């Protein structure tokens, strides 16, 4: 577990990443074009059982954390818990603020712009959070643990977990669309760009695994 001699610079970058991540999830939801697979599944489950997204996300993370604790303890750190308890409430907060102060446009071009903004914000947030390297969120840890223990590369393990979430979101009546596909397959180049030009500089590192 990554708690000893906590580097404050990277901790600040990680917290900034989580703060921005909530906005990215909110923008995707407002676009009505589908969220990232895990968020889409949790939102669909929350709507089905009549609970707030943030509560269901925390509950899901609590269940998945058992797997991380048993099989991937080395990936647990401060970032694990900040992501676990922060992204859901922040998303709900941002959605409330936007609905209270802005009339969200419903035209297709406007929704595409919201999705594009969501891509950039979510990519930046993921880059900051991952580059800080202070612990992996429970859901993100699943595919890493699978890659450690199965004869499959990480890419295919992540595709598998995201695909299962996408199917679950669809079966629960959630929105599965272009935004879901973009999140599952298209964020990599944007994250790599932010890694090189923003996150590495903020964290004071010269190279990371992409």
Q: For residue 149, what are the domain limits?
A: 8-199
Q: What is the pLDDT averaged over residues 4-30?
A: 89
Question: Does residue 86 register a pLDDT over 90?
Answer: yes
Domain membership flag for residue 209: no
pLDDT of the residue at 208? 45
Contact by Cβ (8 Å): 74, 135: no
pLDDT of the residue at 67? 95
pLDDT of the residue at 49? 94
Domain membership flag for residue 169: yes
Question: Based on the structure, what is the number of domains in the chain?
Answer: 1
Contact by Cβ (8 Å): 47, 177: no
Instruction: Tell me the per-residue pLDDT of 131-173, one tens digit each, with 9 for 90 and over.
Output: 998 999 999 999 999 999 999 898 889 889 999 999 999 999 9
Phi, psi of 78 (to 5 degrees): -55, -40
Contact by Cβ (8 Å): 24, 90: no
Q: What percent of the chain has pLDDT over 90?
A: 67
Q: What is the pLDDT averaged over residues 106-125?
A: 92
Domain membership flag for residue 3: no
Question: Does residue 128 register a pLDDT over 70?
Answer: yes
Domain membership flag for residue 207: no
pLDDT of the residue at 4? 52
Domain membership flag for residue 33: yes
pTM of the entire structure?
A: 0.85
Question: Does residue 11 register a pLDDT over 50?
Answer: yes
Contact by Cβ (8 Å): 28, 36: yes
Task: Report in angstroms the alpha-carbon separations of 154 from 111, 150, 159, 200.
Answer: 32, 9, 9, 22
Spatial distance between the Cα atoms of 111 and 115, rounded to a whole number of angstroms: 6
* HSE of 19, CA atoms in CB hemisphere, 13 A: 6
Contacts of 121 (CB under 8 A, 6+ apart): 20, 21, 23, 24, 27
Token reading at 156: 């295919």
pLDDT of the residue at 209? 45
pLDDT of the residue at 187? 83
Instruction: Tell me the per-residue pLDDT of 183-205, one tens digit each, with 9 for 90 and over.
Output: 887 787 888 889 889 999 998 87
Domain membership flag for residue 210: no
Domain membership flag for residue 204: no
Three-state DSSP class for residue 137: coil
Domain membership flag for residue 2: no
pLDDT of the residue at 192? 84
């Amino acid at each position: 577990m990554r708690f000893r001699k906590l580097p404050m610079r990277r901790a600040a970058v990680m917290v900034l990443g989580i703060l921005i991540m909530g906005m990215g999830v909110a923008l995707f939801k407002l676009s009505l074009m589908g969220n990232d697979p895990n968020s889409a599944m949790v939102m669909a489950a929350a709507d089905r059982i009549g609970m707030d997204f943030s509560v269901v996300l925390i509950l899901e993370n609590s269940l998945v954390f058992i797997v991380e604790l048993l099989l991937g303890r080395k990936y647990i750190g401060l970032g694990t818990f900040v992501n676990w308890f922060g992204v859901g409430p922040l998303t709900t907060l941002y959605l409330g603020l936007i609905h209270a102060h802005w009339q969200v446009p419903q035209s297709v071009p406007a929704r595409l712009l919201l999705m594009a903004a969501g891509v950039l914000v979510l990519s930046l947030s993921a880059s900051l959070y991952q580059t800080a390297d202070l612990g992996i969120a429970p859901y993100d840890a699943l595919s890493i643990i699978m890659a450690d223990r199965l004869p499959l590369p990480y890419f295919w393990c992540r595709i598998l977990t995201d695909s299962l979430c996408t199917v679950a979101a669809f079966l629960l009546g959630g929105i599965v669309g272009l935004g879901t596909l973009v999140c599952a397959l298209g964020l990599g180049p944007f994250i790599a760009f932010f890694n090189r030009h923003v996150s590495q500089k903020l964290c004071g590192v010269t190279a990371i695994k992409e």
